Amino acid sequence: MSRALHVCRACDGLSTDPADGVIVMHELGNSGPGWTVWAHREHADDVELIDPVLLQIMTRIWVAQAAAQ
């Protein structure tokens, strides 16, 4: 039985009970498979979903800014 820890996107609290956690989105990583975003079941509606296309554009900008510093 796996007891993976997930961080709630809405409150940054740890979710240790699989029944209490819901997947709200999957983010793509620059290098790698990306990661799954979790939230407490009662907080899922509070998570602000970012448009994946916008997130990709912003990620490129952030990487470029970091490289320029």
Instruction: State the Cα–Cα distance between residues 2 and 31, nearest whole angstrom.
Output: 26
Report the residue number, 44 or 56, with the smaller CB distance to Zn ion: 44
User: Is position 9 an interface residue for Zn ion (rule: CB under 5 A)?
Assistant: no
Question: CA 25, CA 64: separation in Å to the nearest integer?
Answer: 25
Determine if 6 is a binding residue for Zn ion (CB under 5 A): no
List binders of Zn ion among 11-40 (CB under 5 A): 11, 13, 40
Q: Which stretch binds Zn ion (CB under 5 A): 9-17, 22-30, 51-59, 61-69?
A: 9-17
